[in-house]
Amino acid sequence: MNRLLGLLTTLSFFSSLVLANANDSIAYIERLLSEGKKVAILVIDMQPKYDKVFLISEKERVIREQIKLISHFSDNDNVHFIDVRWRGGGETLPDLLFEMVKSKQFQIFLKNTKGAFDQTVQLKDPDVAQGVIEGELAPALLKEKVTDVVPIGCFDAQCVLETAKGASKDFQVTADRDLNIMFENDAEDWPERTLKMYKNAFDYQWQKAMKECPDLQLVPKLDKAKDPCD
C-alpha cells in the first residue's frame, strides 16, 4: 500500500511539472536549420548501466519524447547524432539506437567523466571501433561545421549538465530538460516535498550554469495554441 501511495505521489509530481517537450525542441531546431545552421543532438548515457536505476514513471515519458525528437531529424543531413556512452555502460538502449543509426550523421563518443567535452578519447583498435570519434569531441563537431548542440539523456543535473557546460565553450547550447532523466528509482518512495526539494536544487544548478555560460540556454517553449507538431 505504501509503495502504491509513493508511486501515485511521484506520478502526480511529474504531471505537475511545467517543462518543455520534444515539440519545443523540434520547432527550435527547425528554426536553426532554416537559418542555415548545423545541429548536433547528443544522446548521453542512455545505457543499460543506468537504465536499471531509472525511475520507471519518468523513463517511459522521457524516452518517448527522445525517440520523437530523433526520428523527426534522422533523415536530415544537417543534424548530427552523437551517441555519447559511458565506457563499460553497454550499448545505448535499442529503441533510441534504432532511430539514431538511420542517420548518415551518426557517430559514437566514449567517455569516462561526467562531461563529454572534458577528455580525449584514444582508441586502441580503430578498425573495431568504426564510427567512434577519436580525440576530443569539440574539434570533431567543429570540423563538421556544427554551430549548435542539443544535449539530452541522463542524468539531468549531472552528465547532461556538465556536457552542456563544456559544449558552451565552442557552441550555442540549448537544453530541453524534459528530455532528460532526472531521478533514480529510489525516488519512487520519496514524499512530494523531497521530490520538490531535489527538483529545486537541480533547477538552481542549471540557472547557475546559465549565468556562468552565456551560450547555454533552455529551449524556448512553444505557444501551445500554435503547436504544429501534435
Report pLDDT digits (tens) over 91-132. 999 999 999 999 999 999 999 999 999 988 887 665 455 689
Instruction: Output the pTM of the full model.
Output: 0.88
Mean pLDDT of 162-180: 97
Q: Is the pLDDT of residue 17 over 80?
A: no
Q: Nearest-CA neighbor of 68 among 24, 17, 132?
A: 24
As a residue count, the chain comes to 230
pLDDT at residue 49, rounded to an integer: 92
